[in-house]
């Protein structure tokens, strides 16, 4: 299935684009997406955490993805 991803902050810098289209097996979950992102873009390994929102809601690694889902990568935020 084809997943369209929107990236923010350092995630956008790592993939060198604001949007990314990625092919995943049917029935893939958020954990599979994170693994594929790390395989394709090793810079994600350096992040302490990486949140994924699907259809405007944060999701756990077990959440199943569908082709029509809107997926957003939300990197850790720091500041003072």
For the chain, domain boundaries: 2-74
* CATH no. of 2-74: 3.10.20.30
CA distances from 14 to 18, 39, 80 (A): 10, 12, 23
pTM above 0.85, yes or no: yes
The pLDDT score that the predictor gives to residue 68 is 82
The pLDDT score that the predictor gives to residue 75 is 84
Contact indicator for 10, 18 with CB cutoff of 8 Å: no
**Residue pLDDT tens, the chain, 80 long:** 999 999 999 999 999 999 999 999 999 999 999 999 999 999 999 988 889 999 999 999 999 999 988 999 998 776 55
């Amino acid at each position: 299935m084809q997943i369209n991803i929107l990236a923010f902050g350092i995630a956008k810098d790592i993939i060198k684009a604001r949007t990314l289209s990625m092919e995943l097996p049917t029935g893939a979950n958020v954990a599979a997406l994170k693994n594929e992102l790390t395989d394709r873009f090793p810079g994600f390994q350096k992040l302490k955490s990486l949140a994924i929102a699907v259809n405007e809601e944060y999701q756990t690694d077990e959440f199943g993805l569908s082709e029509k889902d809107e997926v957003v990568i939300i990197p850790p935020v720091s500041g003072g």
